């Protein structure tokens, strides 16, 4: 008598269970990868801001008392002087990893009643999504020091003007991210002192 061996494969229910488990694993990996990517973008942005402040402070001179700052922007000079990280610049346009355009201007601020003034460079991050604004602001709050003078977080208006704003002066508070707009794009203006 001959015995026939019967080969048995997966039935539909077993295949569906395997596919469901594989889908859950891939979904978990996808969520974790997005979180890591977001953290990487925020870290690169905060490090890029510190890098740009340091480079700009060394490259652009202090303004003399009677001189007025370059309010129209010094972006092309900043790009030529490699003020920004190389991966931020593409065809003459500067974009941070978390926002649209990046602008830069020089400023001079008179210290009231003292006859003294401070000069520096302002770096603007335009159209920053709320989640990135909060994370970058929190990251910058730990970077208080002589180089970062103050940070303004706001919304609305055009590139360098604001509809609403919150100013933070160094040393920065831990709640600096509260200035970010809820469910809207924000702008960050970072003032760096020149040396």
List, for residues 167-177, the tens digit of each pLDDT value: 766 666 667 77
- The answer, as to whether pTM is greater than 0.75, is no
List, for residues 14-34, the tens digit of each pLDDT value: 889 999 999 999 999 999 999
Q: Terminus-to-terminus CA distance in the chain, angstroms?
A: 98
> Domains of the chain (ranges plus CATH)?
12-193 (3.30.1690.10)
The phi, psi pair for 120, rounded to 5°, reads -175, -165
Separation CA 101–CA 96 (nearest Å): 7
List, for residues 182-192, the tens digit of each pLDDT value: 767 777 878 77
Residues near 182 by beta carbon (within 8 Å), at least 6 away in sequence = 130
Strands of the 164-169 sheet, one edge to the other: 102-111, 116-128, 186-193, 148-155, 164-169
* Per-residue pLDDT, 24: 94
């Amino acid at each position: 008598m001959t015995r026939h061996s019967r080969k048995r494969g997966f039935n539909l229910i077993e295949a569906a269970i395997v596919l469901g488990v594989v889908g859950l694993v891939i979904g978990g990996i996808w969520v974790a990868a997005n979180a890591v990517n977001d953290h990487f973008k925020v870290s690169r942005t905060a490090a890029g801001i510190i890098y740009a402040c340091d480079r700009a402070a060394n490259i652009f001179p202090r303004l003399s008392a009677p001189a007025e700052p370059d309010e129209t922007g010094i972006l092309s000079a900043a790009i030529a002087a490699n003020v920004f990280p190389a991966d931020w610049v593409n065809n003459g346009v500067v974009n941070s990893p978390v926002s649209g355009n990046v602008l830069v201007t020089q400023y001079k601020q008179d210290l009231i009643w003292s006859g003294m003034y401070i000069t520096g460079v302002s770096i603007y991050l335009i159209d920053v999504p709320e989640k990135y604004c909060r994370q970058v602001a929190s990251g910058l709050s730990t970077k208080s020091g002589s180089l970062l003078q103050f940070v303004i977080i706001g919304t609305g208006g055009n590139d360098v003007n604001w509809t609403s704003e919150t100013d933070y002066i160094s040393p920065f508070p831990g709640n600096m991210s509260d200035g970010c707009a809820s469910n809207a794009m924000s702008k960050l203006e970072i003032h760096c002192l020149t040396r």
